Structures are given as structure tokens and as C-alpha cells.
């Protein structure tokens, strides 16, 4: 019979805690090396390094500043375009206009071309603005219903992949993906805006609403081209931006005057209420190539009449004053305003003041010293004085006009002579590159 043996406390106790093995030094590095060496991973690493080195070797090692506002010399084919080039050089030196007002583009970065819509871009001012934007390297979409615009003003851009032309009336909504909106669409001469006053005020109000709505939807910056007509027949001279004006709200010109005032109101309400980035320019009398020959504005009237050997028509006593800026000066101001950081409004005009009789004499000197002057009754609500105070634009935009009337008028006369008498060599040689 087996006996039970009590062994007492001589058994070995097993500890309750677990003690892992001590880690080997460099084990993680060893495992990493083994991982790289397996399945030829090292070869892929070396190939990637070689590709990266090749890419950085091909890229330029010392990029220079890119000034997108400078146009190559080959672009300028006429005296007017050289004036515009000199205009930009003057302001580039004054305020360092590279990539914006007073700003510079970092080394190694070229300015990315913007996608810009210009409403009324087939018109007089709009077509010159399109020229500058295309020359700068932007992609431009022109929206125009051709009421006062003309396809011939843009024909030199047809075939350019960065240019699009859409026949569309801004009183109807349109959806585009753009970075900036220059809203110029509206007949600007008395002959045209009085032709259909209801349509004029619809363009100013409904058209501006549609373009502001587009700017809000796509996050675009919006520039409204307003007018010196918001000052009406001013009681303050010269006119500053803080002057509220003296406008007849029920006159024959009010469809345009009050329409533009309402457009400014809408623009500021979208800015304050919806956070839309906006800019407002108040444009004074502008002249240059591509103006409508018979649009009723005083400069185009005088030039066309003198070329046709007709009497120069002066309304009233001829003592009314106006200020005349060349179109390249205006385009420069609009672009500086859009690229700057100030909402405005800004007066954009030439503070050089001329009476109608003085303008007629300049036209006589330029075209025909024997041209006669014919007086007629003045038109209703015609302002007696008009002269901009551009101190704000000088200070904040670094802008002022540089083309005097006696230098700009001959370039306009040359364009009018070609279009009236048809003695031009090609349809857009001078006009296509004025600015």
C-alpha cells in the first residue's frame, strides 16, 4: 500500500510576475535595414532620389521677378501703344506695381493668370481693357449684347485660347467660374442711353444685381464702372468722392444718372451685407480709338464733323467745361483699382479742364484750321462744369493720367479717319494695341 509522503515546504515557488528578455541593442535599426533589403526596396528608393535630383537640375536655379504688367516691345505697333508702355513704366517705378499695388511676387513664383469676365467688353473702353488683360497673361471672357459694342474691336483676339466671347444681355443671369468681374455693360453716351431709357435703367440695376450675384456665388472680386454723372450738375467744383451730387431724378438723363447711383448702392450693400469684394470707379469723360463715331459725345462729335468738313456743333454758349482723359490712362486706373486693396469710390479722370470752345479750337488745330463752329440750344440737364479731384487715386492707387489732350487727340483722329474714309491697311492695326 503506497504511503503519502508530505514534503512540507521544500518545493520551489514559481514567481507570479513575468520578466521579458532584455532587448538587444540596435535591434530596431537592424529590422529596418532587413526590411529595405528585402524585395529590392532599396532600388526603388535610389530611383526616386535620382528622379528628384533630375527634376531640380532641370528647373531654373535663379528665377527672376515676374512683372505681369509689362508687355513685350513687339506688342507695341503704334505711337499710342508706346505711350501706354511709358505710362506703365512711370507708375511701376513710382509705386513698385508688381503683382498688385506696391506688392512683389516672391522669388521663384510666377503670377498665375486669372480668369476674368468683362461685361461690355466689345465696347470702346471694354475692348481696350481686354487688350491689357490678355497681354498680361489672363484668360478673358467677354459678355456683350452688341447694342453699342462691336465685334471688330476684338477680332484680333479671335483664335486666342485665352479669349472667349459670349453674346449675352446682363439683364439675364449667367453662371461662369471666374476670379474677377469688370462690370462695364451699359450704354454710356446720351444718344444711346436715351434711345431706350427703361432698358438703360434695367441694365444698370438688374444687370448689376446679376453680376453681383455671380460674384457672391463664385467668390469673385467685382469692379463697377460708375460715372461722373452721379454728381449731376454739380454745385461743388472740382468734384470729390464725398460729394453726393445734384441730380434731377425725373429728367431725361436720370435713367443713366440715377441708374448708376443705384448700381453703386447695390454694390456697397453686397459688400457690407454679403461680404463680396467690390471696387467702384467713377469715370469722367474719356476719348480715344474705337469710340462710336456718331455717339453724341462732344469729342467724337467734333472729330467726326471736322473730318467730314462739317461745322463743329457747340451746344449752348460753349462755356461748359469738361475734363478729357485718354483711354489708356483710364484702363490703367481700372486695373490698379481692381488689384488694389481699396473699395472706393475713386474718381478716374483727367483734371485738365477745357471749355467746349477750347476743345473746338484744339480740334481745329489738329484737323482743319478752317472748320467752322455752329451754335445750337443746349440740351436738358447738361452739366455746366465737370472736373475730377483725383487726390484719392493719386494717394491710394499711385495713379494719375499721363496723356495730354493734344497728344492723345491725334491718335483718335487717325483711327476715325481710317474708319470714316476706309484708308486703313488692316482693320485693327492701331486700335488693337492702343493700351
pLDDT in tens, 301-343: 899 999 999 999 888 888 888 889 999 999 999 999 999 999 9
pLDDT at 288 over 70: yes
Helices 405-421 and 298-307 pack at an angle, to 10 degrees, of 60
Please indicate whether residue 77 or residue 235 has the higher confidence score (pLDDT).
235
pLDDT at 428 over 60: no
Q: What is the predicted pLDDT for the residue at 235? A: 87
The mean pLDDT of 45-55, rounded to a whole number, is 82
- pLDDT > 90: percent of the chain: 47
The mean pLDDT of 353-357, rounded to a whole number, is 89
The mean pLDDT of 89-118, rounded to a whole number, is 57
Residue 80: in which H helix or E strand, if any?
helix 79-95
Residue 28: in which H helix or E strand, if any?
helix 27-37
Under 8 Å CB-to-CB from 383, ≥6 apart: which residues?
Answer: 231, 232, 233, 234, 320
Give me the catalytic one of 68, 182, 193, 256.
256
Please indicate whether residue 22 or residue 91 has the higher confidence score (pLDDT).
22
- In this prediction the pTM is 0.72
Q: What is the predicted pLDDT for the residue at 1? A: 46
CA–CA dist 89, 87 (Å, integer): 6
Q: What is the predicted pLDDT for the residue at 423? A: 58
211 with 183: CB under 8 angstroms?
yes
pLDDT at 127 over 70: yes
pLDDT at 72 over 60: no
Q: What is the predicted pLDDT for the residue at 280? A: 97
Report the chain's mean pLDDT, rounded to a whole number.
Answer: 81
pLDDT at 66 over 80: no
The mean pLDDT of 171-198, rounded to a whole number, is 89
Q: What is the predicted pLDDT for the residue at 10? A: 52
* Structural domain 73-287+325-351+387-407+425-433, CATH architecture: 3-Layer(aba) Sandwich (3.40)
- What are the backbone angles phi and psi of residue 308, rounded to the nearest 5°? -90, 5
Helices 208-218 and 254-274 pack at an angle, to 10 degrees, of 20
Quick one: pLDDT band at residue 38, thresholds 50, 70, 90? low
The mean pLDDT of 366-375, rounded to a whole number, is 88
pLDDT at 13 over 90: no
Residue 68 annotated among the catalytic residues of the structure:
no
The mean pLDDT of 410-415, rounded to a whole number, is 92
The mean pLDDT of 251-260, rounded to a whole number, is 88
Please indicate whether residue 2 or residue 414 has the higher confidence score (pLDDT).
414
pLDDT at 139 over 90: yes
Quick one: pLDDT band at residue 103, thresholds 50, 70, 90? very low
Amino acid at each position: 500500500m503506497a504511503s503519502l509522503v508530505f514534503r512540507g515546504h521544500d518545493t520551489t515557488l514559481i514567481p507570479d510576475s513575468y520578466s521579458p528578455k532584455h532587448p538587444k541593442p540596435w535591434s530596431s535599426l537592424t529590422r529596418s535595414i532587413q526590411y529595405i533589403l528585402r524585395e529590392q526596396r532599396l532600388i526603388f528608393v535610389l530611383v526616386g532620389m535620382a528622379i528628384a535630383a533630375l527634376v531640380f537640375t532641370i528647373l531654373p536655379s535663379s528665377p527672376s521677378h515676374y512683372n505681369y504688367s509689362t508687355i513685350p516691345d513687339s506688342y507695341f505697333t503704334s505711337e499710342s501703344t508706346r505711350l501706354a508702355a511709358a505710362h506703365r513704366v512711370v507708375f511701376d517705378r513710382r509705386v513698385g506695381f508688381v503683382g498688385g499695388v506696391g506688392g512683389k511676387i516672391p522669388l521663384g513664383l510666377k503670377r498665375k493668370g486669372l480668369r476674368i469676365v468683362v461685361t461690355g467688353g466689345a465696347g470702346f473702353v471694354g475692348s481696350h481693357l481686354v487688350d491689357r488683360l490678355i497681354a498680361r497673361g489672363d484668360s478673358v471672357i467677354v459678355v456683350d449684347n452688341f447694342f453699342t459694342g462691336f465685334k471688330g474691336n476684338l477680332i484680333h483676339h479671335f483664335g486666342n485660347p485665352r479669349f472667349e466671347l459670349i453674346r449675352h444681355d446682363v439683364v439675364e443671369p449667367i453662371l461662369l467660374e471666374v476670379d474677377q468681374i469688370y462690370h462695364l455693360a451699359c450704354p454710356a453716351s446720351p444718344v444711346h442711353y436715351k434711345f431706350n431709357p427703361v432698358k438703360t435703367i434695367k441694365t444698370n440695376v438688374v444687370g448689376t444685381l446679376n453680376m453681383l450675384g455671380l460674384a457672391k456665388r463664385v467668390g469673385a472680386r467685382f469692379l463697377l464702372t460708375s460715372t461722373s454723372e452721379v454728381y449731376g450738375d454739380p454745385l461743388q467744383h472740382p468734384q470729390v468722392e464725398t460729394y453726393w451730387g445734384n441730380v434731377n431724378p425725373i429728367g431725361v438723363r436720370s435713367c443713366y444718372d440715377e441708374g448708376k447711383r443705384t448700381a453703386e448702392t447695390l454694390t456697397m450693400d453686397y459688400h457690407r451685407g454679403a461680404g463680396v469684394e467690390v471696387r467702384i470707379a467713377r469715370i469722367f469723360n474719356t476719348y480715344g480709338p474705337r469710340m462710336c463715331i456718331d455717339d453724341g459725345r462732344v469729342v467724337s462729335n467734333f472729330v467726326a464733323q471736322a473730318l467730314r468738313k462739317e461745322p463743329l456743333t457747340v451746344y449752348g454758349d460753349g462755356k461748359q467745361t469738361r475734363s478729357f482723359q485718354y483711354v489708356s490712362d483710364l484702363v490703367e486706373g481700372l486695373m490698379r483699382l481692381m488689384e488694389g486693396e481699396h473699395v472706393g469710390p475713386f474718381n478716374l479722370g483727367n483734371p485738365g479742364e477745357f471749355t467746349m470752345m477750347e476743345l473746338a479750337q484744339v480740334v481745329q488745330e489738329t484737323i482743319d484750321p478752317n472748320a467752322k463752329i455752329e451754335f445750337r440750344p443746349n440740351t436738358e440737364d447738361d452739366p455746366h462744369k465737370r472736373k475730377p479731384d483725383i487726390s484719392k487715386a493719386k494717394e491710394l492707387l499711385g495713379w494719375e493720367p499721363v496723356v495730354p489732350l493734344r497728344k492723345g487727340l491725334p491718335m483718335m483722329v487717325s483711327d476715325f479717319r481710317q474708319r470714316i474714309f476706309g484708308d486703313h491697311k488692316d482693320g485693327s492695326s492701331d486700335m488693337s494695341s492702343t493700351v
